[in-house]
Amino acid sequence: MKFISTVLIFISFFFIPPLYGETLSNTTNIDVGFLSARNLDREAVRQFVKLANGINTQRQIIATLYKTRGFFVRFFKGKNFKGKTQDAGIILAKDNLVFIVFRGEESEKDMRPDIDSLNTNALRLGMPGKAHKGFMSALLSVWQQIKSPIVSYANSHLINPKNLEYIVIGHGVGGAVASLAALRINDDSSLVMYPRNNIRKNQVKLITFGAPSVLVGNAARLARSIMGARNVLRFVFEGDVIAETPSKGNFSHFGTLVKMKRPSVAKKIKKGGYALDIHKSSAYVRAVPSAFASKF
C-alpha cells in the first residue's frame, strides 16, 4: 500500500494548473511495486514524461512541491560539454520508491551528443564490452552524488537499500546517461537484491525519451538480457536526429522501443532528418501517453 500512496502523491503534483497549464480528469491507483515497466499504466507514464520535461525548465518548483509532500529531494550537479557546472538531475524518494531524473536538453546549443563518442570499457557497469566514453564520463562524474544520498535516505528511514525500487528517467542526452545509471545501479550489490539479474525482481526500471544509444554491439545485447526488455521503455519520434546518434561506431540501443509518428508540424531540414523542435521534451509530453496506451 505504501507504493500506491507514494505514486498517487507523485501524480498529484502534475495536476496543478499553474505548473503545466492543464488539469487531468482523474487519477488511477498505481502500485508500481516490482512490476515491469510495461505494466505501468498510462497515467504513470504521463507523469514520468512530464517530470523529464519539468526537470529541464521547472527544477526549483518541482523541488519545492515534493518537499512539501514529504519527499526526500536532492539535486546533483555535473558539467556540460562547455565545462560549465549545472544541475544534472534530481533524486526524489518516498517510502521504498526512488526516482532519479536526468536533465536533458531543450535547445540546439545544448545538443552535442557525438562528443567523446569513442568507446570505453563497460566493466564499471558490471558487464564486458564497450560503452560511449562521453556519456560514461558524465555518469561517473555524478555517481557518488547519486549513490550517497540514496544510501543516506534509506538508512535514515530504516530501509535496507537493497529493498528500494528505482525508476530512472531521462530525456535526450539525459536519457543516455540515465541508461548507463540504470545499469550501474543494477550492478551495485549494496543497492539491489539481485545484481545483474534485474528480471528476477524488476527492481530497476528505465524510461527514456529521444535518447541516444550508449552501448556497442554485444554490450547492448547483454544489457537487454540483464535489465529485461520489459523494464526498459524507449520513446522515440520518427526523425528525432538526437535519438539516432552517435552516427559513428557500432552503437546500439537496448530495451523496448515505442516509436511514434513525427508531429505534423515537424519541418524537414536540408541535411535530412527533421527540425530539432520535435526532440524537445515538451513535444514528447504531448505524444507519449497515447503512444504507450496504443502499444501496451
pLDDT given for residue 157 in this prediction: 96
Contact in structure between 52 and 209 (CB atoms under 8 Å)? yes
CA distance 189 to 88: 25
pLDDT in tens, 164-204: 999 999 999 899 999 999 999 999 999 999 998 988 889 99
The neighbouring-strand residues paired with 121 are: 130
Of 1-10, 17-26, 206-215, 227-236, the one with minimum mean pLDDT is 17-26
CA distance 177 to 212: 9
Give the list of residues 6+ apart from residue 182 with CB closer than 8 angstroms, or none: 166, 168, 204, 205, 206, 227, 232
DSSP the chain: -HHHHHHHHHHHGGG-HHHHS---S-------TT--GGGS-HHHHHHHHHHHHHHHH-HHHHHHHHHHTT-EEEEEEEE-TTS-EEEEEEEEEETTEEEEEE----SGGG--TTTT-SEEE-GGGTSSSEEEHHHHHHHHHHHHHHHHHHHHHHHHTT--GGG-EEEEEEETHHHHHHHHHHHHHHH-TTT-SSTT-GGGTT-EEEEEESPPP-EETHHHHHHHHHH-GGGEEEEEETT-TTTT---SSSEE--SEEEEEPPPTT--B-TTSSB-GGGGSHHHHHHHHHHHHHHH-
pLDDT given for residue 17 in this prediction: 31
pLDDT given for residue 112 in this prediction: 55
Query: Which of the four pLDDT bands, split at 50, 70 and 90, describes residue 54?
Result: confident
Of 109-123, 134-148, 158-172, 200-214, the one with minimum mean pLDDT is 109-123
CA distance 236 to 251: 16
The more confident residue out of 16 and 192 is 192
Q: How far is CA 228 from CA 119, 176, 244, in A?
A: 24, 17, 22
Omega into 17 within 30° of 0, i.e. cis? no
Q: Return the top range by mean pLDDT from 3-7, 50-54, 117-121, 229-233.
A: 229-233
**Domains of the chain: residue spans and CATH:** 2-295 (3.40.50.1820)
DSSP 118-141: SEEE-GGGTSSSEEEHHHHHHHHH
pLDDT given for residue 30 in this prediction: 39
Query: Which of the four pLDDT bands, split at 50, 70 and 90, describes residue 38?
Result: confident
Tell me: pLDDT of 159 over 70: yes
Tell me: pLDDT of 39 over 70: yes
pLDDT given for residue 127 in this prediction: 81
* Average pLDDT score over the chain: 80
pLDDT given for residue 267 in this prediction: 59
pLDDT given for residue 82 in this prediction: 65
Of 17-26, 100-109, 116-125, 282-291, the one with minimum mean pLDDT is 17-26
Give the list of residues 6+ apart from residue 77 with CB closer than 8 angstroms, or none: 85, 86, 87, 88, 142, 145
Tell me: pLDDT of 23 over 60: no
Give the residue-averaged pLDDT of 23-36: 42
Count CB-CB contacts under 10 A for residue 133: 15
pTM for the structure as a whole: 0.85
Tell me: pLDDT of 88 over 50: yes
Give the residue-averaged pLDDT of 116-143: 82
The neighbouring-strand residues paired with 209 are: 171, 235
Kindly state the cell numbers that stand for 64.
519545492
Of 6-10, 224-228, 232-236, the one with minimum mean pLDDT is 6-10
pLDDT in tens, 64-82: 888 998 999 999 998 766 6
> Of all residues in the chain, what percent carry a pLDDT higher than 70?
77
User: What's the Rg (C-alpha) of the chain?
Assistant: 18
User: Helix/strand/coil (H, E, C) string of 93-104?
Assistant: EECCEEEEEECC
